[in-house]
Amino acid sequence: MPLNGNPDGIYTIDPQHTNVLFTIGHVGITEFTGHFDKISGTYTFDNSAPQKDRVRIAIPAASINTNFALRDQHLRSKEFFDVKKYPDITFVSTKYAPNGDKAGNLYGNLTLHGVTKPVMFKVREIGAGEISYLPKPWGGYLSGFVATATIHRSDFGMTAYLPEGLSNTIRIKVEVEGVKQS
């Protein structure tokens, strides 16, 4: 079945088919990737004015998962995410600039560790269309994207183990699937 684009409207992020991944350098030797187990949010399309497209995402910081419980506990502590004081990571877009037919730059404000900074995500559409053979909540009109950005954790007040223990540069990859609201 051919996929046919994203009609105007509001899409709800499907948390079972969405991933938020981050990659960080470890002691100058290697990199490792972790993710967050929970995410919620919406995005909107206005095909006549793509610059008005909007995204809102919320991630509980305590849902961090690096596949090592002791490290995850440390990352939730005051030394890093301080999840008791700053329970949520949020991204709220301010504008979208198309860059070709199925790609663009999404600008917005990322709030992490109580600090809000502008961030730009490179966005690429994977596909979109009516998927009627899947039962709800997995079926319906679906759309999918991959968005990537690079941030410096020190910009958000996260300076533990800088500069030699953990890299300052964090690569973020968000694999999003959304369901169009009726």
In percent, the amount of the chain with pLDDT more than 90 equals 79
Q: What angle do CA 87, 88, 92 make, to 5 degrees?
A: 160
For 99-155, write each residue's pLDDT tens digit: 988 899 999 999 999 999 999 999 999 999 998 888 877 788 999 999 999 999 999
For 13-60, write each residue's pLDDT tens digit: 999 999 999 999 999 999 999 999 999 999 998 888 888 889 999 999
User: Measured between alpha carbons, how far is 122 from 144 in angstroms, rounded to an integer?
Assistant: 14
User: Measured between alpha carbons, how far is 180 from 38 in angstroms, rounded to an integer?
Assistant: 20
Beta carbons of 135 and 110 less than 8 angstroms apart? no
Reported as a pLDDT band with limits 50, 70 and 90, residue 4 is low
For 60-93, write each residue's pLDDT tens digit: 999 999 999 999 999 999 999 999 999 999 999 9
Task: State yes or no: pLDDT of 1 exceeds 50.
Answer: no
Please tell me the predicted confidence (pLDDT) of residue 182: 73
Please tell me the predicted confidence (pLDDT) of residue 3: 56
Beta carbons of 169 and 25 less than 8 angstroms apart? yes
